[in-house]
Structure 1
Amino acid sequence: MTRFIVCIFALLLSFQSLAAESAPTDESIKNLLDAMNAKQMLEKIRAQNASSVKASILGQLGGKQLNPQQEKVLNTTSEKISSIMAEVMTWENFQSIYTSLYKKNFTQEEVNALTVFYKTPAGKSAMNKMPAVTQQIILESQKLLVPVQDRIQQAAQEGAVEFRKAQ
């Protein structure tokens, strides 16, 4: 019986040490983010944001031709939206988000392996291409919604009416 208790105790200690070892450190996550050029990637995303906002608004208009006054309003609006987004899309905000999420979702071993990968030519290439790929995914996904935009708007309006009735 004593051997059984000792074995259980040893198992519990080993699980605790595994759990403690598996959480990545802030420093290792910082090294990973550096290897990923995450700060520079955020800057590229911020720079591309203005065109994405404008494209999104144009997508919602369904390819409608704009007159010069509408074009001016579109440009002003997209610039305002981009400026507002830039206020919160700071490196300080994203670094804390990355650190928190990487700690929750990756082990120290995985963070180490990712850091090694992103220091390789293939890893660097992948990170350099990600902002453009992400932007293209957003633009392509918006195209999928254009044909059903009227149906979505109608469903939203019907839902709003039903919501008011339910109050």
Structure 2
Amino acid sequence: MKAFVIAAWLLLVTFQLGFGQVRDSHRAAAEAMLVATQAENNFDASIDQLLAQQVGQNPGMKDYEGVMKTFFAKYMSWNALKEEMTKLYTDEFSEEELKKLTVFYQTDVGKKMVAKQTVILQKSMALGQQLVRSHMPELQEAIQKRREELEKK
């Protein structure tokens, strides 16, 4: 009986170790896809754009821009997040899917997608902000109404 329990435990541990870890080839596929998408350049450029936007919207932050850049370089740069980003992709995509994505991003259309991705994201965010601003009175009215309801309780 003792031998059976030990064998079952070893089998369970081996099973968990084999399936609980990402294979090196899966990880390599994720890294190749991230290279094909120029993730490092795009990621760091996005952080720079975010900082520039924040300073543009709040000129008082200009004096703190260097501090913010240092902070983001330490905690939000590609080097700081590469491992987590790789894991994110291995969690969401199979090795085969990552390889297919890499092939796509190496095509002319894939390269265009990478080149336009930041612009599209910026424009979509601006569109969202514009829509919210244009309906802000409606939101403010709803918030005021809810505030009054809460005050009555």
TM superposition score normalised by structure 1: 0.61
Q: How does 1:137-152 map to 2 (within 5 A)?
A: 137-152=124-139
Cα RMSD (Å) of the superposition? 3.3
2:48 alignment partner in structure 1:
47
**2:27–2:86 CA contact under 8 A, matched in 1:** yes
In the other structure, the counterpart of 1:77 is 61
After TM superposition, give the deviation of residue 124 of structure 1 in Å. Answer: 1.4
Cα separation, 1, equivalents of 2:28 and 2:86: 9
Quick one: percent identity of the two aligned structures?
Answer: 22
Aligned pairs (5 A) from 1:101-140: 101-140=88-127
**1:50/1:79 contact within 8 Å kept:** no
Matching residue's letter, 1:117: F
Letter in 1 for 2:36: A
What whole-Å deviation, never above 9, does each CA across 1:99-157 have from its counterpart, x for those lacking one?
Answer: 22212221111100111111222211210110111011100111001122133234345
Q: Deviations along 1:26-72, whole A, 9 cap, x unmatched?
A: 121111111110000012212221344367x5xxxxxxxxxxxxxxx
Structure with more contact order per residue of length (Cα contacts < 8 Å, sep ≥ 6)? 1
Q: What residue ranges of structure 2 are gaps of 5+ in the alignment?
A: 1-14
Q: 2:72 aligns with which of 86, 90, 97?
A: 86
The size of the alignment, in residue pairs, is 130
Q: Hey, what does 2:34 align to over in structure 1?
A: 33
Q: Structure 1 regions of 5+ residues with no counterpart?
A: 1-15, 58-73
TM-score, normalising length: structure 2: 0.66
Letter in 1 for 2:125: I
